[in-house]
Structure 1
Amino acid sequence: MSRQIHVFRSPDRFLAGTVGQPGEREFYLQVADGRRVFSVACEKQQVAVLADRLDSLITEVARRFGAEIGSTGHADADLALTTPVDAEFRVGTMGLAWDGEGSQVIVELLAISDEEVGEDVVLEDREDGPDALRVFLSLAEAREFARRAERVVAAGRPPCPLCSNPLDPEGHICPRLNGYHRGGVA
């Protein structure tokens, strides 16, 4: 089967979201353009890294090229995952780029594959790579995505004040207390 590259040039929205309760959440990235909705599954850490790298890219583009970031005017209420959430694939490799001609950030998410994925496959339309989702965003849309993604990641279980591992309501075994079972959040 040949590689599929799903391209969204001016999506209505691109967001990170979760399904499930803290401690059991599944993370998704979802893009929508009209009635076309495309979702991919990912890890919490991937969402955090993507938000961080987008912030860095936006800051660098603004510094180097004097680009104005602006605002999209979307409300958070408009940014819930469209359900049902059916992931087309699980994200393995992620790539970011700046398109100076179009003044857009390009986010590419590649499916996990059995083969090593090199830099030459990211943002290329070759037939031998894994399936991909490619999203083109304005600087304002990229900044909005990053801010919301940071909030989604932070909305999980509170951290233990001693070891920073997530606290379950019933507590956890804290490595800083030599395995003593620390009580839950009051």
Structure 2
Amino acid sequence: MSDPHVCARCAQKGPTCCQLDPGNEEFCFPLSEMERDRILKELAGDEGAFAQQANTDGFVENLHKLFPGEQQAVDKLFPGTKFHIRLAVDEQGRCRLLGPEGCRLPREARPYYCRLFPFWFAGGKLNVFAASRCLLQREARTRLRMLALVGESDKRLKELYGRLRLAWGLAPRKGLPGIDKCHRKKS
């Protein structure tokens, strides 16, 4: 039985994955232009949801960890002398799109990273980030139960991960067998 409101309940209890410790904004996941445009459309052009962030060494190193073996591609996408766009946060580090009942964006308009979290792919396998703030992890405790609780599947998450990669210009099937088939169907 899925519980699509687990993230909303988490937002009510706080803190959530949608909140950074103040001063750690550089580690907020970047947005692709496609994601930014999709969010802008949903927010009727409100630019206040975004912030420009320098590509710091720590930020790039964090992306190297998320995309192992793709350091050159990451370095090309996020050169140290440039900036990227991320979601804006308030003084407490909370995403400006986080309301008392969760994200103000409909699921399909949210950034791919947000839709994937706390799941991520590494070595072609679905993994779960260790996130002490995640109510989903605290309630479900196992990956399979977590998937069931949010009504997701490995296949759907592979597709989202592939879309995230494509949005950044990374090869869609790198480290993820069969992902190219998902994209051919959806393209």
Q: Same fold by TM-score, threshold 0.5 exceeded? A: no
Q: Which has the higher contact order (CA 8 A, sep 6+)?
A: 2
TM-score scaled by structure 2?
A: 0.27
Structure with max Cα Rg: 1
Tell me the TM-score normalised to structure 1 length.
0.27
By percentage of residues, which structure has more strand? 1
Structure that is richer in helix per residue: 2
